[in-house]
Structure 1
Amino acid sequence: MSKILVTGGTGYIGSHTVVELQNAGYTPIVIDNLVNSNVGVLDQVEKITGVRPAFHQFDLCDEEKVHQFVADHPDVRGIIHFAAYKAVGESVQQPLKYYHNNFFSLVNLLNAYAGKPVNFVFSSSCTVYGQPDELPVTEAAPVKKAESPYGNTKQVSEEILSETAAAFSNYNIISLRYFNPVGAHESALIGELPLGVPQNLVPFITQSAVGKRGPITVFGNNYNTPDGSAIRDYIHVVDLAKAHVAAIRLLEKGNPNGNYDVFNVGTGQGNSVLEVINAFEDSTGVKLNYQIGPRRAGDVEQVWGDVSKSTNELGWKAELDISEMMRSAWKWEQYLKEHPLR
């Protein structure tokens, strides 16, 4: 089957998507600058699938290297673009870092493939909705002012892609607006591997439980939610990876909605931070030490998605529940304790 370029393919979601692409018969090619990932992930992917994906290490903000890659690989027929900075809190503190990386990497890719037929799947986010007026949020909901520079990069990137698709018929593009990916591969050979202190809830939970971190901080307990903590739609990373494969397949067949489309990718239900903590304790038998802290800048109170469009048109549906998300994340953390990636 066709070759698919996976940018950020040694990262958390990227590596799981590489596995699912190989399982589906595709040939993934990975580009990553390893700023927020580990090259040892390629060894882990090979252990799972028996095939080591081709790998190129460079920064997509380097326009010359991007054009050289495209010239050297004329048979690439699809792109799944993950490579971006993604920490909400950090983006508030360092907005220019996010605007430079997330925009230049995308524009360089689009320029390099101008005039070539290509199927393009963009890693977007539910942050484009801001704090929605109604829940669950549908793809038709208005895109509101972003709560963070990170969220703004996703909004503007979607605008760039929509306008590019309108101007160039050779591009067939899907933006996947997904929610909070958690969990790990069932083999426990790949999972979330944050460098430094985790910015996301679940890896901080597992690192706290294994003794790498101190108490967990719940950022705010006075939101307008049943238990006062923020609510998100958590999705198992393997389900999310399979959604990217489904998007490539839809683009290959020809999306009847035209050459630009968006899909929500989640479970369709929300869990609060405290519910996630309870789910971890219930599914693993491990008690957590947590404390309540102030709200965090850039955080949305609650958001979860209507995923009926993904079910009906993308042909995809999440299958793994919050308990499996927590079990697999904990299994991965225990694996790392015995087999640290280098």
Structure 2
Amino acid sequence: MNVLLTGGAGYIGSHVAVELLENGHDVVALDNLHNSDVEAVNRVKRITGRDLPCYVGDGTDPELLDEIFTEHRIDAVVHCAGLKAVGESTERPLLYYRNNLDLLMTLCEAMDAHGVRSLVFSSSATVYGDPGRVPITEDAPLSATNPYGATKLFGERVLADLAAASPDWRIISLRYFNPIGAHPSGLIGESPNGVPNNLFPYIAQVAAGRREKVLVYGDDYDTPDGTGVRDYLHVVDLARGHLAAIEHLADAYGARAYNLGGGQGTSVLEAIAAFERACGKEIPRQVVARRPGDIAVCYADPAAANRELGWKTTFTLDDACADTWRWQSANPDGFTDRA
């Protein structure tokens, strides 16, 4: 299958590219390099020994999309591109609504024009808002507590309406929980611009001496140790979820959604302790006020993906911490070839 991968130079996209290429699919990447690096594409080529054409440009450009679909005879799309920081989305909501929804709708219009109607969409567990119960199943009520989550929720609604209007569409939305870790080779991993928005790259930078301490946002939640609880899964497991979804699309008419998570919760303090085991040193931390839009507890019931996609996690939290530390140690400044 010939797959267009938007956000293909990003943290998740680069790992998805590895899994697709290593399993016989051809991949064309598209990335605007806003929070990614073309060096990730070069390293994907090193890992897989395969070519990976990469277009540098914006997915909201219909002429660029038309060029890609015309030149490469795309069979399916994995849409990983988009802005993703919860905190930033509460500060700049218009940016998030404009970017993430425009990306999705422009992409779907291009797909429709070229007769490509198979899509895997990167959604998020944030579509569940503040869940009334855990573990969360796909039939839980949908809501959003921040603009980033709202863009994913609205995106799923757009896709559901599209599939209802045009029954030949095959759409799978993957509701990510919290991706962590890096490729075991140490060649690709999370390389954020500026201050990391996510917990694990921040912990890794503290462990490497790049930052003074981990900021723990709130220790007064209704959780066993007072800190927020999340479902962390290895990014390679997440990437394999995309592979499973792509290979399931032939029988997936309509729009469906699946949780991709490990099925258990880990608190911030437990996450820090796990990373201390991986790097062999103490991680300084400081408790500060809660962040707007954060919730207390969120973890998945992944049974539907286990059953219907044949997908399950294989890496542990300690595996993810070890791989993150390997990546951070080998690449202390992330990808240095910044575009």
Which interval holds the TM-score relative to the shorter structure? over 0.9
* Aligned match of 1:28: 27
Q: Is residue 186–residue 327 contact of structure 2 (8 Å, CA) maintained in 1? A: yes
* Aligned match of 1:112: 110
Question: So what's the TM-score if we normalise by structure 1?
Answer: 0.96
Deviation of the 1:46 alpha carbon: 1.4
Unpaired segments of 5 or more residues in structure 2?
Answer: none
Alignment of 1:225-264 (within 5 A): 225-252=223-250, 254-255=251-252, 258-264=253-259
Does 2:317 correspond to 1:322?
yes
* Aligned match of 1:132: 131
Does 2:268 correspond to 1:270?
no
- CA deviation vs aligned residue, 1:17-48 (integer Å, no higher than 9, x gap): 00000111000100001111011111111111
Q: Is residue 2–residue 75 contact of structure 2 (8 Å, CA) maintained in 1? A: yes
Q: Is residue 39–residue 335 contact of structure 2 (8 Å, CA) maintained in 1? A: no
Q: Is residue 117–residue 170 contact of structure 1 (8 Å, CA) maintained in 2? A: no
Deviation of the 1:168 alpha carbon: 1.4
Q: Identity across aligned pairs (percent)? A: 44
Deviation of the 1:94 alpha carbon: 0.5
Deviation of the 1:339 alpha carbon: 7.8
Root mean square deviation of aligned Cα: 1.2
* Aligned match of 1:222: 220
Unpaired segments of 5 or more residues in structure 1?
Answer: none
Question: Aligned partner of 1:322: which letter?
Answer: L
CA distance in 1, matches of 2:97, 2:334: 35
Q: Is residue 175–residue 258 contact of structure 2 (8 Å, CA) maintained in 1? A: yes
Question: Aligned partner of 2:120: which letter?
Answer: V
- CA deviation vs aligned residue, 1:139-188 (integer Å, no higher than 9, x gap): 000102x1110000000000000001111123200000010000000000
Instruction: Quickly say closer, same or farther: Cα 1:135–1:68, change in 2 above 3 A.
Output: same
* Aligned match of 1:102: 100
* Aligned match of 1:178: 176
Alignment of 1:260-339 (within 5 A): 260-337=255-332
Moved over 3 A (4+): none
- CA deviation vs aligned residue, 1:254-284 (integer Å, no higher than 9, x gap): 13xx421110001000100110001111233
Question: Aligned partner of 1:273: which letter?
Answer: V
Question: Aligned partner of 1:190: which letter?
Answer: I
CA distance in 1, matches of 2:171, 2:141: 20
CA distance in 2, matches of 1:269, 1:288: 23
CA distance in 2, matches of 1:53, 1:98: 28
CA distance in 2, matches of 1:56, 1:219: 38
CA distance in 2, matches of 1:169, 1:23: 31
* Aligned match of 1:155: 153
Q: Is residue 42–residue 52 contact of structure 1 (8 Å, CA) maintained in 2? A: no
Question: Aligned partner of 2:213: which letter?
Answer: P
3-state SS of 2:75 partner: strand
Q: Is residue 218–residue 292 contact of structure 1 (8 Å, CA) maintained in 2? A: yes
Instruction: Quickly say closer, same or farther: Cα 1:340–1:54, change in 2 above 3 A.
Output: closer
* Aligned match of 1:195: 193
